[in-house]
Amino acid sequence: MEQWILENEYVRTLAFYSVSILALVVFLAIFETVTSYRNWEEIKKGNLAVAMATSGKIFGVANIFSHSIQNSDSLLLMLLWGAIGFVLLLISYFIFEFLMPSFKVDEEIKKDNRAVGFMSLVISVGLSYVIGAGIITR
- In percent, the amount of the chain with pLDDT more than 70 equals 94
Report whether 64 contacts 131 (CB < 8 A): yes
CA distances from 77 to 25, 44, 59, 72, 115 (A): 19, 36, 21, 6, 37
CB atoms within 10 A of CB 98: 9
Q: Taking each helix axis as running N to C, give the angle between helix 48-70 and helix 114-133, from 0 to 180 degrees, rounded to the nearest 10.
A: 10
Using CA of residue 82, residue 53, residue 34, residue 93, what is the dihedral sign?
positive
List Cβ neighbours of 77 (8 Å cut-off, separation of 6 or more).
137
* 6 pLDDT higher than 80: no
Report the mean per-residue pLDDT for the chain: 91
Q: How far apart are CA 48 and CA 31, in angstroms?
A: 17
* 88 pLDDT higher than 70: yes
* 7 pLDDT higher than 80: no
Q: How confident is the model at residue 135 (pLDDT cuts 50, 70, 90)?
A: confident
- Which of 92, 80, 79 has its CA nearest to residue 129? 92
Q: Where is average pLDDT lowest: 40-44, 100-104, 120-124?
A: 100-104
